[in-house]
Structure 1
Amino acid sequence: MTTATPADLRGHDRRDRAMGLLRGVVDRYIGVVGALGYDGAAGSTDPGPRALVVAERLVVADNEDVVQLTLRAPGGGPLPAWHAGCHIDVHLPSGRRRQYSLCGDTADRSSYVIAVRRIPEGGGGSLEMHALSVGDRVDVRGPRNGFPFVARGSALFVAGGIGITPILSMIRTAEHVGMQWHLLYSGRTRAAMPYVDEIESRFPGRVCVRTDDEQGIPTAADLLAGAPAGGAVYCCGPAPMLEAVRTGFDTTPATALHLERFGAPPITDGREFEVQSARTGEVFTVAADESALDVLRQHRPDLAYSCRQGFCGTCRVRVVSGTPDHRDSRLSDVDRADGMLVCVSRADGGRLVLDL
């Protein structure tokens, strides 16, 4: 998740005192939420995964590529509370771990609802999720919030395809508290867009749906046309959409930008380096535009990973020697003393020897 308050249209820093105070409150809120333990309490101890049961399975896109799964406690008891923007980590029977945004009603503590797009050429997690049936059990950690929603003022929500999942809970909350809001929902085709009919019928007048096959790929101006003066923009979707929104935001009258990525962020300032396995002595070269995770998985396909953004901590590897360039948002200074997240962190010059 990225939060930015850009300069004004003339390139100067915005000095509005009220907005400065509001930004301070928001920054503190985001800092606290980002530090929450998996049970939702600051400083709480992670209790580890809890077993949940697939209670319902529903296809929610006309092309049948997106399935909604409703997860409940085996005994039917209440689940930990969550807020709009939260996700859960799902531990699959294969050992894979994947993160999915909660897209249900934040007031409903009887279940967690997620939606998963099938990606045949992906790492296999989505295919395994689609193979789940009612009655199957999965281990879940969370909820945790890396994309916090501040329910005040006005907002434009921008969603691309499966990026609608965290946005769904946000627009429900925005509607509940009486915010002024608008949603721009984009996808390749209408058939590929989950929940599109439900959203349009439930929130008439607040939703603009764009499809690439009918209107072409949206520009930054198309995506940000509804950005509210003094308000916020929340965007979740594919990398090109996020980049368009990020680069076009300075032309809008909005004052805060919040982004969530589904995949690895682009590497824009990388340098080539080497990683060596302390166990086998093998040396692998990581190109300037590659991540260490991508290179290592070519030789260690079972290397665990999940978010690919330096957030979840799944891909942590012990560093035997060398100096990492830490680029994660997860590890503490103590953790960084002898470890790194290979999905985003790199070498600060020279070679890294890893406990692999």
Structure 2
Amino acid sequence: MIQARGLRRVFKSRRQTVEAVAGVDLQVEHGEIFGFLGPNGAGKTTTLRMLATLLPPSGGEATVAGCDLRQEAAEVRHRIGYVGQTGGNDPAITGRSELVFQGRLYGMTVSEARARAAELISSLELEDCADRQTKTYSGGQKRRLDIGLGLAHRPQVLFLDEPTTGLDPQSRARMWDEVRRRREGGTTIFLTTHYLEEADALCDRVAIIDHGRIVAEGTPDQLKRQIAGDVVSVGVAGDQEAILELLRPQPFVREAGWQDGTLRLYVDRGESAMPAILRLLDGAGLDLDTISLTRPSLDDVFLRQTGRSLRETAA
């Protein structure tokens, strides 16, 4: 449904030239949820806006829903839905009126647009607020209405830019369920996010972008399997380089490094490694503050690829 090769976007000003997207290659299959994961400023939204024809590429080529991005932009717009970060509803208009108007914009008759609006209101569970002005909506209701506006014309591809930013946990879980239902109905979904849990829970495949370049791509499980073994995080005071030299040569340690004052050790078997780590630190006279064992996460994948934590850079 989406294929991009060498997609680039350069922003120029009088003082400098910034390459926001630096040659992205992507392939998104029909009917999958594809996640674009990365920190703020990594190029996620710029890439999405190019694929949605809102921003012309500076280089490269792409097809979306079978149409050439450059040569058939108008047809691409007919085949996609787009939900931006800030939404697009009018606070003085009812949700039902917004949905009817959106249908009319895409060429539906009045009766067709009203029927489609009623269908979306039911499926998105907006019955209780559909005939109220949207300024009275909760954050979750507004976001569901935004998705309804993106789905009004039954697009083949739905672009969601940070769909759950600012939502409470209950609204976020409800939004995840809605996204899954759309995928089950055959819609291909391309979403950007900086929430690790969202990408892990929702996406069939994920691409991680950093500084405008794809640094890793695959299913969440495939990406996490790149990090062999377990992760032991150690909080210990002392000379960081000396502590690293003490633990890094141990046969059970695959990788080791400091991150934000915490030593992270990638080990074969965390349960067996932890007692050995404690003995080594105690033998060296070092005072242990904290120690924890976790399984590899998408943040570990990002850390390995970039040397930085996605949780920290997205904060």
| TM-score, structure 1 as length reference | 0.30
The structure with the greater share of residues assigned to helix is: 2
| TM-score, structure 2 as length reference | 0.32
